[in-house]
Structures are given as structure tokens and as C-alpha cells.
Chains A and B, each alone.
Chain A
Amino acid sequence: MLWYLGRRLLQVIPVFLGATLLLYALVFLRPGDPVAGLGGERGLPEAVQEQIRAQFHLDQPFIVQYLLYLKGIFTFDLGNTFTGRPVSEVVADALPITFQLAIMALVIETVFGIAFGLWAGIRKGKLFDSSVLVLSLLLIALPTFVTGLVLQIVVGVNLGWLPVTAGRDPDFISLLMPAVVLATTSFAHILRLTRTSVIENITADFVRTARAKGLSRDKVTSRHVLRNSLIPVVTFIGIDLGNLMTGSIIVEGIFNINGVGGTLFRAIGSGESVTIVTLSTVIVLIYIVANLLVDLLYAVLDPRIRYA
């Protein structure tokens, strides 16, 4: 197990280098000159533009910029944003908020998704099952920004039940609505995955055997059906943690949350390559860690996988 973990951790290094190089190349190859657009319609004086370019190494060839960026990472100096804030500070500010939001969304979608999916699977074809299926279809079809804006106006503005925006120092209450919005699509996916998986397992031989042994219905459901049905769901949730990070770009915009998504969105707008690459790299790292966790969870759920 430890060997496995170590090997997986070593894999992070090439992935990290490849991802940053790719991201840096993409940002660099974007046509146009972000500095030229900084001053709005009138543009900044040429001297000012040159000074900014020099400060951010934008006047250097691509590979030099990238190496300087790598050097910065290893010396814990990520450079500054165009506004002069250290990027590391920006990331440190944004990450905990997005993490809180993502965890809340993850809990919401997992708990409700599995519960609804299990219930629907067990009572396949009944009214609850069909109505839940319709609901999930609807949720999958609706884009996040639609659910976000509608909820914001109905629940926030008209009913006044929850804060309209999260703003600074977001607490649990102000993050609740954004988390629900962020969770909706994945909730529907988890629900459907669980349901299908439950339906498959419920007719499996081992379940019939367990029943035949005289185990109670609840025990069969929780020990045998649910546990085995969770394997595809866990895979999905692992990948989804990364999606929650990127999905936060829209949700954080709508609810004015200063997390990774909102910051990334602004950085893309102003063409701040260092901030974009750094934040994207953080997201890549989260993907990698999430995948690692999924693989470890597999081993817990299904001992057969453990020594493979």
C-alpha cells in the first residue's frame, strides 16, 4: 500500500511539469498583448507599457518566461499580479473559500444523490423513481448559470431566505445557495449512477444468497447492495471534485465569492499569465490528489483491488 502511494505521488511531478508547460504555452500563444489593453480605450503611455512588460518578463522569449516561472515556484516566489499583489497571497486567499464551497457542494450532492438514487433503485418503476428521474434530467439539462441566477432572484431577492451574494468572509449560510447550485448537476449524475448500480446489484447472485441466508432487508441493502453500488459513484465523485473547482468560475461570479473561480475569471480577463497558470496548476494538483484519493478509496471498498 505504501509503495503504491509513493509511486502515485512520484507521478505528480511529470504531470505537474507537463500541465504548467501546456498552460503556459496556451496563455503565451494567445494572440494580442494584454499590456496594450490595460489602459482601456486610450491605452497606457509606451514607457509604462514597457516597464510592465519588463517587470513580468513579457519581453522575454517563451521558454525563458517559463523557466523563470518554474524558478519562482521552487523559490516560493510566484511573482505579482498586474496590480502588484503577490500571486501566492491571492491563491492563499482564494483557495480556502473555494475549498469550503466545493466540500459543501460535495457533501450535498453525495448525501442526497446516493440517498435518492438508492431509494429510487430499490423502488424501481414506482412513482418516486419516475419523478426523480424526470427531476434529474431537468437538472442535468439546466446550465449552472441559469439555476444560479434563478435561485438568486427567487430565494435571495424575492423570498429573502438566503443572502443574495456571499461577499467577503463568506460563512456557511451565505455559501449554502452557491453550494446547492454548484451541486445540482453532479447531484443528478450521482443519483442516476447510484440508481442504475443499485438496480444491477439488487438482482445479483450475492444479494440473493444473502437474502436466502435470512439477513434482514436493511442489512442486505446497506452491506451488500449499497457498498457494491458505490464503486462507480466514488469514481465519479473523485473526478467531480476537480469539476467543482472549475464549475466555481461561474457560480463564484454569480454569488460574488472571492475564490479560485472568481479570481481566475478576472485574471483571464486581464491576461495575467502568472495568475492564470498558478491557479490552473492548483486545480490540476487538486485533480491529481482527488484521483489518488479515489484509487485509495477503491481499495477500501473492494479489498480485491488492494494488492493489484
Chain B
Amino acid sequence: MTPRKRLVGLGAFALASSLVLTACGGGGGDDTGDAEGASTGIVTVGNGEPQNPIIPTMTNETFGSKVTSNVFAGLVYYDAEGVVHNEVAESIESEDSQNWTITLKDGWTFSDGTPVTAESFVNAWDYGAALDNAQNLSYFFEPFQGFSYEENTSLIEEGGLTVDDELTFTVALNQPESDFPLRLGYSAFYPLPESFFDDPEAFGKAPIGNGPYVLETWENNSLIELRPNESYAGEREVQNGGVDLVAYSDEDSAYNDLLAGNLDIVTNVPASAFGTFEDELGDRAVNQPAAVIQVMNVPEYVKGFEGEAGLMRRQAISMAIDRDQITETVFSGSRTPASDFTSPVINGWSEDVEGSEVLDYNPDEAKKLWDEAEAIEPWGDEPLLISSNADSDHQSWIDPTCNGIRDTLGIDCEFDAYPTFDEFLDARDNEEIPGLFRGGWQADYPAMSNFLGPIYGTNAGSNDMGYSSEEFDAKLKEANGAEDPDAAVELYKEAETILFNDLPGIPLWYNNATGGWSESVDNVVFGWDSDPILYQVTKSE
């Protein structure tokens, strides 16, 4: 067997040379910037394999969206604080919050040289909304006139989208939505070049965009190379020589690579390092609330939670949970106790929405409320069940939550585990869940409405509790129609007060964005969506 011999021989040589290399120390850079302070290094970022082809209306998960958000430029973009800036849009205007006229800046092109026109947007959105194209993000076009889940429709033919001239188009919605411009930075609303429509499949593997970067190579399961786009015409000026998105199958290995200096940015610290990463990385660590909230929902059909007694029980359970302690001990501070139904990174979030004191840990009040509910209608001997999938770690917080409920209210409480996430979804959608159930929500765009409407609106897409309140719906509609953004925020807060009074879901905590970066990069900022703003990262070497 000569191959074996050769293998061993080769190995000895390689081992020796690598020891020499490591002995020399210091990671070698790819480029040597000649200008003073020029940042030309390639920034490496831990990522994973995108789940879908890189088509904006298909990309609904974080691995793929790191590509789309950097390869495409939409009408607007979000800065780190979630503030909206016009990008391709010159203006987005409406007199009634229902019919919107969008004017584009002149001079934008895709990286293949074709111009970005009104049609680039209109055709892309029309494609994304059509039922037959089965796009993951098609629900974003739900508010558009002519959208349908029942039959294949074209927003253009139905009047939802109209091209006025080369740089202007009009959107017609079914009802006023004042936060419409806020959504337009999300990936569902990016433009597509003509070449996409010739061969969507080929495009999905080698997308052509108009954003700050171009996708240079995509090696499946291992690497995506993003390089600066020479023809990009916007403000998100690239400060580095490019970005390499490196696929990891395991968060621990990415984090260990970061510690060893082989990786520049980690966007998810593994749970095993929650307790230590801030010490290990110092000021290169990020641990800040993200646009993600975890709640415990109360389905309308569960016995014991109806009527006045049911409301008192929900309040009692909420007050029996020591959020500070659980976020600190179970999550090592990688969660932030919730104080409303939105998230601290969202404009309008506040710690003192009327009624939010129900989220404070208050065992005495909890017990009192529970006993009052008992007097109206006894709970019985049944344990209180908290349902969730068991394929990711939920037992760790459900157990202490249950302990709190048990100690405070004197009732039994159990984790009702579903083996896999999809079985849990199945039970949820078939209304078979026997008790409270876990719910998580990550915002698509930085707006309060995105946390309230889709979850608590009557018959809304993710209203899995079956909650329905005329008062809440009316308030939401009023807020959506408000012309002034500040007035809208106040109205959304009032809507939240209604939720606090009804408590269809019990807010638990906000997930934090946990991440870190190596010593070789600077200017790393994690945005409102928990992703680092890649174009402004500098790496000189």
C-alpha cells in the first residue's frame, strides 16, 4: 500500500512546516494596504449555508439574509439603530397612507450593468407575490391590492402596482398602513434585474444585485465570498476588501476559531460560552437586546383561562415568574426581561406602558389573584402545562418557570414536550395544545406594528392563540392610519395597554444579540436585527 506511505511522508513534512509557520506567529494578511490606514483586509464572518436560493423573496433566514442584505439595495436601508434612510428611493409619498408614490434616484445600476428602474421593483414584487411562484416571503405583499392566497394573481394586473414612468411607480394597498415605508428595507422588497426572469434558478445560485457587495463565489456548505460592488451608487460605502461568510455547522467551533484568531466576527455565541464570553472578549463582545421577544401564549380554547377568572389566572402566572432570576441564571444574562410586547431596539419601546406592572415578579399579588379566581371557578387537580418543542433547549427555562408557578400558586406545573419543532407547530396549528405554549417572534422590520398586528390582530397570520379583540383591532387600525409617526407610536402603546389588560400572551424576555469580534477588525457594530453592519467593518492588513 503505497498511498499510505505517501500520506505519512507528506504528513511529516506538512506538520513540520506548520509548526514553523505557527512559531512565526501572527496571522498573515491577504493584502498589504499601501495607503495609510487603508482597510483592504477580507473580513471573515461565521455563518452557515443559506437554506434557499439567493432570491430576495425566498430568503427568510439569517444565513441567507447576510447575503441578500449586502448584495441588494432596496428603496430604503436600516442603520444600526433601525432608523430608515432612503437608498434607491428618492421619495416615498402618500396622502392617505394607502396609495403610495415611489420615486427612484437616477443612476443606479445592477452589477451586470443594467439600470435599476421602476420596473425592476414592480416586476420583482409582482413575482414575489404570485401564488404560483411559491415564494417564502409572499405574505409581505398581503396588504397590496390584488394579493390572494387562493388563486394566482398579478399585482400589476390587479392594480396593486403601477409603473408611472421609468423612475416612478405607485403602490395601492387595501387599507391605510402608515408604517409602509418602514418595511421597504426588508429583503422581500428588493429589486431584481431583467436577467432574473429569464432563469430564476440560475440567478438563485449566482445572484446579481445593486448593493454594496457582489457575490463572487459560493462554495456550498463552506464559503460565500462577497466583494465590493464597483457600480454601487449608495451611501453604504464599503470600508474593507470584502467579506468571507464562512459556513459552520456548530456554533462552538466558530467561537473557538474566533478565540484562536482564525475568524473575525461571530454573530452567535454558543450557549456554552454565555457565561464566559464577555470576560474572554472584553470590549469586543456584544450582548444587547435584539428584535426578538419570547412569550408564553394562552390559547383561547384551553379550559380554565376563560372569562374573568381566566384573566386573573393569566395575571397570576405572569406575576409568579421571576424574569430577572431566570434570565440571569438560566441564560447567563443573554436575555433581557421583557417590559412590553415589542423590543428595546424598536422605536416606541418603553418600560412603562400602562398595565405593564403585571410583568413584575410579585408572588403575593399572584397568589391573591389566583385564590380569587379559585373562588369564581376552581382550577381542579390538573397540572398546568407549558408546551414547547424539545429539540432545542427549552426545558432549561420551562422548569424554573414551572417551579416559580408551583411555589407561588400552589398548583402543579409541567413541561409538555413535543419531540420536534414541526410536531409542535402541527399541534399548535391544529389547536391541540393542552395549556400555555411558547411563542417567539423576530421582527422583520423595525416597527412596533410588526410586533402587534401579525400576532394579536384578529385572524392575523401568526395569531395562534385565537385572540380577538375589537378594541385592539380598532386601535391598531387607527395607529396604522396615523399620519405622524410619533402619534402612531402613542397609539401603538395604547394598543399594548389593551393587550396588557387581556393578556393573550405573557411576555417573558427579549433575546439578546450575542456576538464578538477579533482584534484584527474594527468598527464592528451589531444592528437592530442582530446582524453586524458588514460594510463598515475595517480590517487593515
Task: Check if A and B associate.
Answer: yes
Whether A262 lies near B249 (C-beta < 8 A) is yes
Query: What's the nearest-Cβ distance from chain A to residue B423, in Å?
Result: 4
Whether B221 lies near A93 (C-beta < 8 A) is yes
Whether A176 lies near B11 (C-beta < 8 A) is yes
CB-CB under 8 A from A104, the residues of chain B are: 7
Whether A83 lies near B52 (C-beta < 8 A) is yes
Whether B11 lies near A168 (C-beta < 8 A) is no
Known: A34-B422, A161-B22, A265-B249. A41 touches B256 (CB 8 A): no
Kindly supply a per-residue 1/0 record for chain B positions 92-133, scoring 1 wherever the CB is within 8 Å of any chain A CB and 0 otherwise.
000000000000000000000000000000000000000100
CB-CB under 8 A from A157, the residues of chain B are: 256, 259-260
CB-CB under 8 A from B11, the residues of chain A are: 172-173, 176
Kindly supply a per-residue 1/0 record for chain B positions 261-301, scoring 1 wherever the CB is within 8 Å of any chain A CB and 0 otherwise.
01000000000000000000000000000000000000000
CB-CB under 8 A from A303, the residues of chain B are: none
Whether A37 lies near B246 (C-beta < 8 A) is no
Query: Which residues of B, 1-31, contact A by the 8 Å Cβ criterion?
Result: 4, 7-8, 10-11, 14-15, 18-19, 22
CB-CB under 8 A from A254, the residues of chain B are: 250, 252-253
Nearest to A48 among chain B residues (CB) is B134
Query: Which residues of B, 293-332, contact A by the 8 Å Cβ criterion?
Result: none
Distance between Cα atoms of A39 and B442 in the complex (Å): 12
Distance between Cα atoms of A37 and B392 in the complex (Å): 13
Distance between Cα atoms of A3 and B220 in the complex (Å): 44
CB-CB under 8 A from A103, the residues of chain B are: 7
Q: How many A-B pairs with Cβ below 8 Å?
A: 145
Decide if A17 is an interface residue (CB 8 Å cutoff).
no
Which of B79-87, B135-143, B345-353, B468-476 is found at the contact surface with chain A? B135-143
Distance between Cα atoms of A35 and B423 in the complex (Å): 11
Query: What's the nearest-Cβ distance from chain B to residue A76, in Å?
Result: 20
Distance between Cα atoms of A167 and B429 in the complex (Å): 39
Partner of B139, one of A35, A45, A156: A45
Decide if B49 is an interface residue (CB 8 Å cutoff).
yes
Query: What's the nearest-Cβ distance from chain B to residue A33, in Å?
Result: 5
CB-CB under 8 A from A35, the residues of chain B are: 422
Distance between Cα atoms of A177 and B464 in the complex (Å): 48
Known: A37-B420, A44-B136. A152 touches B15 (CB 8 A): no
Partner of A37, one of B22, B223, B422: B422
Distance between Cα atoms of A167 and B254 in the complex (Å): 10
Decide if B149 is an interface residue (CB 8 Å cutoff).
yes
Query: What's the nearest-Cβ distance from chain B to residue A108, in Å?
Result: 10
Query: What's the nearest-Cβ distance from chain B to residue A12, in Å?
Result: 24
Decide if B51 is an interface residue (CB 8 Å cutoff).
yes
Whether A42 lies near B422 (C-beta < 8 A) is no
Distance between Cα atoms of A265 and B50 in the complex (Å): 16
Query: What's the nearest-Cβ distance from chain B to residue A155, in Å?
Result: 10
Query: What's the nearest-Cβ distance from chain B to residue A196, in Å?
Result: 26
CB-CB under 8 A from A32, the residues of chain B are: 419-420, 422-423, 426
Size of chain A's interface in residues, with CB distance under 8 A? 62
Nearest to B421 among chain A residues (CB) is A37
Whether B426 lies near A256 (C-beta < 8 A) is no
Distance between Cα atoms of A107 and B10 in the complex (Å): 14
Query: What's the nearest-Cβ distance from chain B to residue A150, in Å?
Result: 11
Decide if A24 is an interface residue (CB 8 Å cutoff).
no
Whether B442 lies near A41 (C-beta < 8 A) is yes
CB-CB under 8 A from B15, the residues of chain A are: 173, 176
Decide if A31 is an interface residue (CB 8 Å cutoff).
yes
Distance between Cα atoms of A47 and B19 in the complex (Å): 56
Whether A46 lies near B149 (C-beta < 8 A) is yes
Decide if A82 is an interface residue (CB 8 Å cutoff).
yes
Query: What's the nearest-Cβ distance from chain B to residue A105, in Å?
Result: 12
Query: Which residues of A, 148-196, contact B by the 8 Å Cβ criterion?
Result: 149, 152-153, 156-157, 160-165, 167-169, 171-173, 176
Query: Which residues of B, 423-437, contact A by the 8 Å Cβ criterion?
Result: 423, 425-426, 429
Nearest to B152 among chain A residues (CB) is A47
Whether B260 lies near A160 (C-beta < 8 A) is yes
Query: Which residues of B, 395-425, contact A by the 8 Å Cβ criterion?
Result: 419-423, 425
Nearest to A270 among chain B residues (CB) is B51
Distance between Cα atoms of A104 and B15 in the complex (Å): 14
Query: What's the nearest-Cβ distance from chain B to residue A27, in Å?
Result: 13
Query: Which residues of B, 135-176, contact A by the 8 Å Cβ criterion?
Result: 135-136, 138-139, 149
Query: What's the nearest-Cβ distance from chain B to residue A115, in Å?
Result: 14
Query: Which residues of A, 270-294, contact B by the 8 Å Cβ criterion?
Result: 270-271
Distance between Cα atoms of A266 and B422 in the complex (Å): 16
Decide if A43 is an interface residue (CB 8 Å cutoff).
yes
Whether B256 lies near A153 (C-beta < 8 A) is yes
CB-CB under 8 A from A266, the residues of chain B are: 49, 249
Known: A48-B136, A168-B222, A263-B221. A149 touches B420 (CB 8 A): no
Decide if A36 is an interface residue (CB 8 Å cutoff).
yes
Nearest to A111 among chain B residues (CB) is B8
Distance between Cα atoms of A56 and B427 in the complex (Å): 23
Decide if B257 is an interface residue (CB 8 Å cutoff).
yes
Whether A107 lies near B204 (C-beta < 8 A) is no
CB-CB under 8 A from B50, the residues of chain A are: 83
Decide if B383 is an interface residue (CB 8 Å cutoff).
no
CB-CB under 8 A from A270, the residues of chain B are: 51
Partner of A39, one of B18, B60, B253, B426: B60
Whether B52 lies near A256 (C-beta < 8 A) is no
Decide if B440 is an interface residue (CB 8 Å cutoff).
yes
Decide if A255 is an interface residue (CB 8 Å cutoff).
yes
Query: What's the nearest-Cβ distance from chain A to residue B25, in Å?
Result: 8
Query: What's the nearest-Cβ distance from chain A to residue B486, in Å?
Result: 29
CB-CB under 8 A from B426, the residues of chain A are: 32-33, 36
CB-CB under 8 A from A89, the residues of chain B are: 220
Query: Which residues of A, 2-54, contact B by the 8 Å Cβ criterion?
Result: 30-48, 50-52
Query: Which residues of A, 91-109, contact B by the 8 Å Cβ criterion?
Result: 93, 103-104, 107
Distance between Cα atoms of A238 and B332 in the complex (Å): 46
Most chain B beta-carbon contacts within 10 A, residue among A50, A84, A252: A84
Distance between Cα atoms of A164 and B50 in the complex (Å): 23
CB-CB under 8 A from B262, the residues of chain A are: 163-165
Partner of A256, one of B7, B61, B249: B249
Decide if A258 is an interface residue (CB 8 Å cutoff).
yes
Distance between Cα atoms of A252 and B221 in the complex (Å): 13
- Can you name 25 A-B residue pairings with CB atoms under 8 Å? A30-B420, A31-B419, A32-B419, A32-B422, A41-B462, A42-B60, A45-B149, A48-B134, A52-B134, A83-B53, A93-B221, A107-B4, A107-B8, A152-B256, A156-B260, A161-B19, A164-B253, A164-B256, A172-B7, A176-B15, A256-B247, A256-B257, A266-B49, A270-B51, A271-B422
Given contacts A48-B138, A82-B51, A266-B249, 14 further A-B contacts (CB under 8 A): A32-B426, A36-B426, A43-B429, A47-B138, A83-B53, A90-B220, A93-B220, A152-B256, A157-B256, A157-B259, A160-B260, A164-B257, A165-B254, A256-B249
